[in-house]
Structures are given as C-alpha cells and as structure tokens.
Chains A and B, each alone.
Chain A
C-alpha cells in the first residue's frame, strides 16, 4: 500500500461530501487505501462544518448536493479556509460543470468512476497547489483531461 503523506509528513486528512452513500463508500475505500484519514459529510453545509472542525488538507465535493451544492460550498470554503485543497467530483464532465468548478476555486475535477490513479493525481495536484499558496491555486486547475492548467472549452461542448 502506498502511504500518502502531506507536505508535513502527516497523513493526508480528507473530507468527502456527497449525498450518495455508494459514492462516499467507494471514495473512502480508495482514499484509505492511500493511507488518507477520511471524514464524511452528506451535504454541503455539513462539509463546511466538518472542514472547520477537522481542518483537512483536501475536501472532495460532489458538484450537486442537498442544502448547499459543491459549487457553493467551494466558494465558501475558498473564503473561509483558503489552505484547503478542493476537488470537485461529478459523474458528468460538461464544459459548464468544469467551468463552474474552476470559478468556484476548486483545484481539480475528478470524473466518476474513481480509480486510484485519478485520485492520486488529484491529491498530488491539490497538495502541490496548497503548498504553493492559495492565490496560485485560483489560477491553476486540473480538469478531467489535462495535467496542467487548461483553457476554457467553448460553451456547449463536452470537456475533453
């Protein structure tokens, strides 16, 4: 098992926020496999509360959740806790979704189904951006198809 450590060599603390129990379970299993310490929320409001209490390195937000969407939660978290890396999660990578995620302050966008490789990449990017400062994180964004900061696709297209 590959041990996932933060820049301070502590286990990476992660909050998962999704209203779907299957998605939370799948994500939790894969993150724990990478030695992350995982806490779960079922909506955006609870995610913000958990982030305040747990001070995770990274939060995974479903783009559409009850009470507070992932997009709205990301905007609030970016203001409240700029040091937390935000990974937006969706089954659907439309241009609108990716663009909204980017504008909300997310540092990466992961499309379901999850794989260890996708998650490892998102974690590494988020930790790297976290280390380099939140202001940079606002301008660098890993979308589902790019390893580097990407250009915005034309509206109406599916993100590649």
Chain B
C-alpha cells in the first residue's frame, strides 16, 4: 500500500483522536495470536526506553535522547501506538536540532500517552488469554 491510500491513512492517524485504540485493534487483528508476543515485548522494552530518555533529558544529551526516542517511535509505530509514535517523532526532530527547551513537557506527554497504551495493551492481553 504505497499509493495515495498510504498518505490518506497517515492523515487519518494524525486527525483521529481515538486512533490508538483502532490501530491497536487493527494490529491485533492483523497479527492474530502473535500479537501477544509483540505486545509483551513492547510492554517490556518501552519503560526502559522512557527511563533512558529521562536520563538523557536530565543530562541535556540531545544526541542520546534523539537515538532512544527514535527507537521508541519505531516500536510504537510497529505496534500501532500511532499517537505516541507521533509524540516521539516530535521530540526526535527537536533533539536532532538540539532544541531541548520543550523536552520536559514533551516527556510528560509521552508518559501520559504511554500509560494509556500500557493499560489498553494489558486489557487486550487479558482478553486474548
């Protein structure tokens, strides 16, 4: 799906306030039984990455922050946590330009969004068992 539909789908992700749940459900439908493995991996890795991002922010290390938030963004996108992926992408773009002024607020937004994803994924895993 590299055609115009892809761009349209991405625009929809941007606009849809409830996009996360739809995306996560779509991923579960797509991966079937394997979704549990992906979700567990994501729930295991993401808190560590957010902790590294915190440490990088506190140290003012824009390069390290950009690297870890890039990886976090990728895993969020792969699991269907689209809004969180977009928050991470905004941080990555800022850090690449060494703009750290908004990082504390951005981190807060990432943590808030991650808490929603965490709760939703755990609920999905319970119903998948």
Contacts and interface: CB of A to CB of B under 8 A. Distances in A.
Interface stretch (A50-58, A72-80, A109-117): A109-117
Contact of B80 (A110, A113, A117, A122): A113
A160 B11 CA distance: 9
A113 B73 contact: no
A91 interface: yes
Contact of B71 (A19, A27, A93, A122): A19
B127 to A, nearest CB: 20
Contacts of A160: 7
A interface residue count range (under 10 / 10 to 19 / 20 to 34 / 35 or more)? 35 or more
A52 B6 CA distance: 33
A144 B78 contact: no
A20 B3 contact: no
Given A22-B45, A26-B79, A118-B1, A112 B7 contact: no
Prevailing SS type, chain B contact patch: helix
A122 B75 contact: no
Given A22-B41, A91-B74, A91-B89, A147 B2 contact: yes
B20 to A, nearest CB: 12
A118 to B, nearest CB: 5
Given A20-B75, A25-B41, A113 B82 contact: yes
A62 interface: yes
A26 B2 contact: no
Interface string B2-40: 111011001000000000000100010011001001100
Contacts of A19: 71
A93 B23 CA distance: 18
Given A29-B31, A113-B23, A113-B80, A23 B75 contact: yes
Nearest to B41: A22
B70 A64 contact: yes
A113 B1 CA distance: 11
Contact of B6 (A18, A23, A64, A144): A144
A92 B70 CA distance: 9
Interface string A3-47: 000000000000000111111011101100000000000000000
Interface of A: 18-23, 25-27, 29-30, 62, 64, 66, 90-94, 108, 110-118, 121-122, 125, 142-147, 160
